[in-house]
Homo-oligomer: A and B are copies of this chain.
Amino acid sequence: MIWNVYLSGEIHTDWRQRIIDGAEQQGLSIVFHSANTDHDASDAAGDVLRENESGFWRDHQSSKVNAIRTSTLIKQCDIGVVRFGDKYRQWNAAFDAGMLAALGKPFITLHDDSLIHPLKEVDGAAMAWAETPEQVVELLKYVTSK
């Protein structure tokens, strides 16, 4: 069995790559998926369509194009990993976690212990809270191994 793992959240550190590399080194049977992690490209996802004077509608147009990808990948994943960093609002990560929870998909959160209290509702719905990408790899190894 090949497991589909969706990596959601913060795009400013190398956590995705460390998980992907770790899984590869361990030879895990996992395919990883993500939203487009290029911030500028993501903001411009809808710009191929009509131009908008309003910032709200430009964002709206792009976020819906991005959602074609993300909602599909979330619905098809087996496991989610949701990362919260110490900067920015990251409401999209919490939004993805809410989708995962409502769809009955197990997910792992990844964040420092300084974020325990503000993330308590998200952690309450998660199957595990990890503090490092290496812990996530260990969990994925345990969960997906024969």
Instruction: Spell out A's residues near B (CB within 8 Å).
Output: 1, 3, 31, 33, 36, 41, 45-46, 48-50, 52-57, 59-69, 71-72, 75-76, 78-79, 84, 88-104, 106, 108, 113, 115-125, 127-131, 135, 138-139, 142-144
Contact = CB atoms under 8 A, between A and B. Distances in A.
A36 B146 CA distance: 8
A50 B60 CA distance: 14
Contacts of A48: 135, 138-139, 142
- Tallying the copies of this chain within the complex gives 8
Nearest to A141: B48
Contacts of A1: 31, 33, 76
5 contacts: A46-B128, A49-B139, A57-B57, A68-B127, A98-B102
Given A53-B53, A69-B142, 13 more contacts: A48-B135, A52-B57, A56-B123, A65-B128, A65-B143, A67-B121, A68-B79, A72-B106, A89-B89, A91-B119, A95-B125, A101-B102, A104-B104
Contact of A128 (B61, B91, B135): B61
